[in-house]
Amino acid sequence: MSKPIFVTGATGNVGQAVIALLSEQSIPMRIAARRPPIESSSSLAQTVHFDFTKPETYAPAISGCRAVFLLRPPAIANTKQTLNPFIDIAYESGAEQIVFVSVTGADQNPFVPHHAVEQHLKACNRTYTILRPGFFAQNLGDAYRTDIVADHRIYLPAGTGNVCFIDARDIAEVAVLSLCFPEQHQGKGYTLVGPEALAFHQVAELLSQQLNQQITYVPASVFGYWRHLKKRGLPTTQIAVQTVLHFGIRFGQANIQDRTLVELLPHPPRRLSDYIRDHLHLWQLSPH
């Protein structure tokens, strides 16, 4: 049996989709989890205890793996003291390849935590691939979900800016392609965005059509949005990150036209309407 692929972020949006694809293709994997075991339908999956904040878990977990699917958890800000030492141990332990989920523009932006990881991967001079996705369609099912379900609205300081949402399932497909064909994808940095630019009033229309109930986009001021997230109980750092990211949409930061995803996938990229159709249960609406 071939050596397994080490999968981080396994309970998250991209990691779950990676696990599903590896299972479908009967590829052995080792699922890294803070709270094992994690259910998998694959008999070729094994779960190990792993935590980026506990360096003592790195070497025992990664030993014997051939490659790593690397995801930076949103709560991990200091990647220099977590992901980067893990990368060193992974390569020292015999991993031949790392596929890292970064974010659009991280190569040019030293203020995002992914930047230091990208720099480190390049400096290691080993086999790696960097995926730089834009806004996930899955944000509708997590970050925006409470507002949609409880208030029947999307409330963001994004103005009329457009977003080219990408489905995390498409990111996972590119990750698995990169893991299966390391030579073809070695040293590449792929900007990955979805096929259509949508403003949030259009997103609200798509939700309204498929949920058969009116969902409205209410543009927020920066102050109003900050206060809203504070009331929802989010930690200040997360409020700051979400506010900056969504404010940037006003200035075209998420309106990125790029054909890389179209060229890499064997099928047309998923549209936001596909994501909504496949996840209707997430927005079972409460009555007004």
Ligand X SMILES: NC(=O)c1ccc[n+]([C@@H]2O[C@H](COP(=O)([O-])OP(=O)(O)OC[C@H]3O[C@@H](n4cnc5c(N)ncnc54)[C@H](OP(=O)(O)O)[C@@H]3O)[C@@H](O)[C@H]2O)c1
State the residue for tokens 């498409």.
Answer: 170
Helices (H) and strands (E) in the chain, counts: 12, 11
Residue 220 and residue 206: Cα distance in Å, rounded? 20
Of 213 and 273, nearer to ligand X (C-beta) is 273
Of 119 and 213, nearer to ligand X (C-beta) is 119
Query: SS3 for 141?
Result: coil
Report residue 121 as tokens.
Answer: 């991967």
φ/ψ bin of 31: left (φ > 0), alpha (ψ from -120 to 50), beta (otherwise): beta
CB of 75 to ligand X, least distance (A): 5
- Residue nearest to ligand X as judged by C-beta position: 12
CB of 171 to ligand X, least distance (A): 8
Of 71 and 174, nearer to ligand X (C-beta) is 71
CB of 143 to ligand X, least distance (A): 7
Of 213 and 255, nearer to ligand X (C-beta) is 255
Non-local (6+) Cβ contacts of 62 within 8 A are: 6, 68, 86, 89, 90, 93, 95
Of 118 and 125, nearer to ligand X (C-beta) is 118
CB of 208 to ligand X, least distance (A): 22
Residues that bind ligand X (CB under 6 A): 8-15, 34-35, 50-53, 71-75, 101, 103, 133, 135-136, 139, 168
CB 47 within 8 A of CB 37: yes
CB 51 within 8 A of CB 57: yes
CB of 24 to ligand X, least distance (A): 19
